[in-house]
Amino acid sequence: MLLRENAPLREYCSMRVGGPAKLAAFPETAEELASLLRAGGRRVVLGGGSNVLFPDEGYDGTVIFTTKLCRLSADGCVLSAQAGVTLSALARKALDCGLGGLAFAYGIPGTVGGGVYMNAGAYGGQIADCLERATLLDDTGEMLVLPASELALGYRSSALMDGGLTLLSADFRLAPASPESIRAEMDGNMRARREKQPLEYPSCGSTFKRPPGHFAGALIEQCGLKGYTVGGAQVSEKHAGFVINRGDATSADVLALIGHIQRVVREKTGVSLACEVRIIENE
């Protein structure tokens, strides 16, 4: 198993901020992942680090990256994917198999593990729509299989957020569809991403959850915060729902900007914006 001491987390997280981890681990098998969970101690399990923010001082523990757990297979209308498979690779596999239902996932910058953890979604679809079951490991390394109905999948939430369970793999039940229609949907979604989202800058994707009856980006723009900057962190001028790293941002810059946005939007509109980014702390 690949282990890296004092690993610079900015190299592994899409926001490109954060200090060193005491240890970064990259398991390639279920047993290696289980052994890391059994070892105890301070730890966090991540996929591609696309929706996470580490502190500038680093993380005084082990960061387990599941990106080398990347087996992907099909059996009829069911796709089985390990936690480290990217959501885009999952969507492409569905396309290759003529299976519809995952086109929404194409272009989401995350993995199956993170996708199930937060019930990722876009363009009218979400993981909960097609997830059939999940194979999980508890903190003792024991394996269990749960149907999707027992994972409390909600808007950007799941039972995995309560701690104690780590996704090893997931099964998705899909329906036959024409490759042409799937490809058209995937291409349309990707065009929309490129046109509307600041993909040219490091970010964590959408910074805030969608408040009931509103769109976070529209509220932020309405409050005159488009382009607002704290240090190297900025509210994207292309899409106000994204906080981006202009090149030299620190984690403290990003957190300060997030807090400022939340305060201003609450004061001016009465709406509280909940952060969608997973903020990792040492305490």
142 is catalytic: no
- Which residue among 10, 16, 156, 278 is the active-site one? 156
283 is catalytic: no
206 is catalytic: yes
165-173 and 131-138 beta bridge pairing: antiparallel
Residue with tokens 């890391």: 36
- Which residue among 50, 80, 88, 206 is the active-site one? 206
Structure tokens at 18: 């954060």
Phi, psi of 4 (to 5 degrees): -135, 120
- Which residue among 32, 132, 221, 276 is the active-site one? 276
Catalytic positions, written as ranges: 156, 206, 276
